[in-house]
Amino acid sequence: MASPLFPTDTIKDVADSLGIQTLSADAAKQLAMDIEYRIQEVVQEALKFMRHSKRTVLTPADISNALKTLNIEVHSCTSLSFVFRVSCLYLCWLGAVC
């Protein structure tokens, strides 16, 4: 199984803040890999919006449109700017944009 880029310590911290005290390392790794997959899905869709608009800069509107297209709701506790920053960080990890 591949090693996730998303830090499993972050997963454990979020689980702890939600009151989940006993999250195994394997479960954290699986969640991290799932998060990476979901972010990749959103970024790929957002890049389609960017390219269709004939731009070379990804915008929060591209991310928003991608989330709507994929039927992903942004909860009130999660700001779109946070989702945009995470998506941009993922692109930097891939070496695509920075």
pLDDT tens for the 98 residues of the chain, in order: 567 777 888 888 878 887 888 888 898 888 888 888 888 898 899 999 999 999 998 888 888 899 889 887 765 545 556 666 666 666 665 555 44
Q: Residue 90's CB: how many other CB atoms inside 10 A?
A: 19
Considering only CA atoms, which of 49, 90, 88, 50 is closest in space to residue 70? 49
H or E segment to which residue 88 belongs: helix 80-94
Domain ranges of the chain: 8-94
The 3-state DSSP class for residue 80 equals helix
H or E segment to which residue 48 belongs: helix 25-52
How high is the pLDDT of residue 77? Answer: 47
Q: What is the CATH number of domain 8-94?
A: 1.10.20.10
How high is the pLDDT of residue 94? Answer: 55
